[in-house]
Chains A and B, each alone.
Chain A
Amino acid sequence: MIVEQVVPTRGPLELEPLLERLSTQRFTPFDPLLVEFVDALSKALMAGPREYPEIIALGYWARRASIATYQRDLEALASERVRLVPRGLAFHVPPANVDTIFMYSWLLSLLVGNANLIRLSSRESPQVELVCEKLGQLLNEARFAAVAASVAIVRYGHDDAITARISGRCDLRVVWGGDGTVAALRAFPLHPTARELSFGDKFSFSAIGTAAYLEATPELQRTLAERFFNDAMWFDQAGCSSPRLVVFVGAEGPRASRRFFEAFEQVIEAKQHRVDDGHAMAKLVFSFQAALDGRIKEQHRLSSELSTLVVTTLEDFSRDHPGAGLFFVAHLERLDELVPFVTKRDQTLGHFGLAREELGALVRALAGRGVDRLVPVGQALTFNRYWDGYDLLQELTRKVYLE
């Protein structure tokens, strides 16, 4: 069985020797060489080019200070009697088209000492190529030879035998992507001691307190629009954490909503963000379909880039969404009206102008029905160790009891 290796070197490779190589290589968590490597990668990513803000953000996340925090957090999980060790070989199946999200989970996996085999989608994207190029350069430096031995980024066609072989051999399988992918991979048994982290289809939304929003200065409203732009538009609204619905909570919802999206449209214009014609048309068709169904009572097309659809009710809300700048809008009197709406698919709630107690009460009332993260607007895509209900630092390591 042959796979096409992309990183650390390019070229076809026999699978068995590759698995052998990856299985023998071990580090202790936050080994100084790993920290040095991630620091060097961070600098390389932040060096640009600027056209991919999500890659700059990845570089920023991986900077030394942030890695030090993760190291302290991991150490806090250990104790005199509980030691944390790597799981072994992690097999990552990243999503086909969100180019950088998967990088976070595998960098964490690398930092805690695992060996990592990443299967890229066969589709190439400039973002992925750029990241792979920078990774390849670093890993080919002599000082990182030991790191290079513990990492492989590969591509291969639809070959069940290869997927089965890697699945049977790895200690941890990390599957990003749609429910379909997760289900398809479940068909390949893991070794009895191995486990899986799966990130299925997700839906995310934002909640805006109308009183605070309408009282905010125009400057703050503009800043908020810029933050919301980052949440929604970096991945053309197709990331699992990208908001697709904005809920306005409180009195004067329609006025707050109008001002919110006008400010947002100005940011879109200022940044010269463009949606291509195919997506613009797909959004228009989607809007007509929702109108034919009677699911929306108003449509506002602010531009080719931005449309809003005001829903009649959140009851039986369909989470289908075309991406690329379309927002459902709902008006609620109180935040807890969200409780019957939320499902397991709901991941991130971006909030503005809502009291911490209100948000805490929502989490209590939801009691695990859904919503894995509640973060201020602007941080929807900011990765941290808590994701989709997992604590990744715990999931990526094993606990050894020592008495």
Chain B
Amino acid sequence: MTHSPAAELLAAPPFGVERTTKQAALTAALRALTSLHRAACEPYARAVHVMHPGGEIGALADVPYLPVSVFKTHTLRSVAEADVFKVLTSSGTTGQVPSRIYLDRETATRQTKALSTIMQAVLGPQRLPMIMVDTKSVFANRQSFSARGAGLLGMANFGRDHFYALDDQMQLDEPGLRAFLDKYNGKPILIFGFTFMVWLYFREAAARMGADLSQATLVHSGGWKKLIEQAVDNPRFKATLRAGTGLQRVFNFYGMVEQVGSVFLECEQGVLHTPAFADVIARDVRTLEPVVGREGVLQVLSALPTSYPGHSLLTEDLGTVLGEDDCACGRKGTYFSVRGRIARSEIRGCSDTHAPVRGAA
């Protein structure tokens, strides 16, 4: 049994620990996790040795990080194969290699607890009737646990009497939704879905059938890439839902399969908050030095993972750290915003001519 060095932070109210206490405790926890993974995961030890030589960890910014995409190319585990309880894979777009995240029971349990601490801070302790903006067929294949399936199951814990609103063709089950809404007429309900699913398959159909969601709370996540292509940002997302269905309480969260449980939830001010056991650093894309108040590439830190070296990850997302402890919503912790991915441009080169010379016209 591996205890997280961050037990104290995990037990604390997630948005109630002020800066000095949090920084000291989290730095100590991540320093201990770095040592743990160096001892238990050989490739990780090599990478830290080469990429972060010297390595005294005096502050959060000193914690060595791995680029999040190395979980796609490398098997990174800090527990024996026999102790792996579950392997999470990112769904990813077609043709992309998925990330593989190895969880033992302790890490999985810790993630579940952490997520519930955060969600309860927003939803309260009561489990509400819940609409899942997805299809049950996501769970058809139990062997491969996609991030979407894992995310849905993780969130299902926070509600009861679950209603899956979409069929296999991603069509809204209108009679089903009507029956559900009639049953809980006027009472608070919870809705969860991935951002693009809510936008593409739920928003319009729900508005068209005249669904009244004024008593609902929507929690959504999963990235804005597909929506940005349609010029939909967070304010427009919220405004459209409110106009169409009366939905008022909408919370986005930022998280990734490589750090499940460690989610950053949007507050009433529209910014994302770090809980006590996690933090975010924005790094200048060119110098990789930490920056506050201007955009950088986001590094996410979490005290949760002991079974794989994912406690400090450099993402490919751009965002801005806006402040710490002083958000108007009253929550403690670093708060920040996310803008999107670093643009991927193609490189010129002799090789790789017109890639598919053959193939369909």
**Interface residues, chain A, with chain B CB atoms under 8 Å away:** 93-99, 101, 121-122, 125, 157-161, 163, 175-181, 184-185, 187, 199-202, 235-236, 238-240, 276-282, 284-285, 287-289, 291-294, 296-299, 301, 303-304, 322-324
A277-B342, A291-B51, A297-B50 known; A96 vs B347 contact (CB < 8 Å): no
Contact A288 B361 (CB under 8 A): no
Closest A residue to B43 by beta carbon equals A292
Of A158, A288, A298, which is within 8 A of B47 by CB? A288
* CB contact list, B322-357 vs A, under 8 A: 342-357
Contact B51 A96 (CB under 8 A): no
Q: What are the interface flags for B300-335 relative to A under an 8 Å C-beta threshold, 1 for contact and 0 otherwise? A: 000000000000001010000000000000000000
Distance in angstroms from A276 CB to nearest chain B CB is 6
Taking the closest CB of chain B, its distance from the CB of A386, in whole angstroms, is 17
Name the A residues within 8 Å of B236 (CB-CB). none
A288 and B70 contact, CB distance less than 8 A: yes
Q: Which 5 A-B pairs have the closest CB atoms?
A: A177-B353, A238-B349, A178-B351, A181-B353, A97-B348
Which residue of A has the minimal Cβ distance to B73? A289
A121 to B353, CA, bound (A): 7
Chain B interface bracket (under 10, 10 to 19, 20 to 34, 35 or more):
35 or more
Contact pick for A277, options B53, B343, B346, B352, CB 8 Å: B343
The answer to whether A101 touches B350 (Cβ under 8 A) is yes
Q: How far is the CA of A94 from the CA of B352 in the complex (A)?
A: 10
Chain A residue with minimal CB distance to B356? A158
From residue A298, how far is it (CB to closest CB) to chain B in Å? 6
Chain B, range 272-315, C-beta contacts under 8 Å to A? 285-288, 297, 314
The answer to whether A277 touches B285 (Cβ under 8 A) is yes
At the interface, yes or no: B44 with Cβ under 8 Å from chain A?
Answer: yes
The distance from the CB of A319 to the nearest CB of chain B, in whole angstroms, is 11
Give the distance in Å from the alpha carbon of A324 to the alpha carbon of B355 in the complex: 21
Instruction: Tell me the residues in window 29-67 of chain B with beta carbons closer than 8 Å to chain A beta carbons.
Output: 43-44, 46-47, 49-51, 53, 66-67
Minimal beta-carbon separation of B78 from chain A (angstroms) = 14
CB closest residue in chain B, given A298:
B50
Residue contact B350 to A177, C-beta cutoff 8 Å: yes
Whether B215 sits at the interface, judged by CB under 8 Å, is no
> Are A159 and B361 in contact, CB atoms less than 8 angstroms apart?
yes
Q: Is the CB of A97 within 8 A of B349?
A: yes
Contact (Cβ within 8 A) B43 A95: no
B347/A201 in contact, CB under 8 A:
no
Residues of chain A lying within 8 A (CB to CB) of residue B346 = 97
Distance between Cα atoms of A178 and B354 in the complex (Å): 9
**Alpha-carbon separation in the docked complex, A323 to B357 (Å):** 24
Can you sample 18 A-B contacts with CB below 8 Å? A95-B349, A96-B354, A97-B347, A97-B349, A122-B354, A158-B356, A158-B357, A158-B360, A161-B361, A175-B353, A187-B358, A239-B350, A240-B351, A284-B67, A284-B314, A288-B47, A297-B50, A303-B286
In whole angstroms, how far apart are the Cα atoms of A289 and B50 in the complex? 11
B112 interface hit (Cβ, 8 Å) = no
A279 to B67, CA, bound (A): 14
Q: Are the C-beta atoms of B345 and A178 separated by less than 8 Å?
A: no
Residues of A within 8 A of B286 (CB): 277, 280, 303-304
Q: Does B105 contact A (CB under 8 A)?
A: no
Q: Which of A278, A299, A304, A322 is B287 in contact with, Cβ under 8 Å?
A: A304
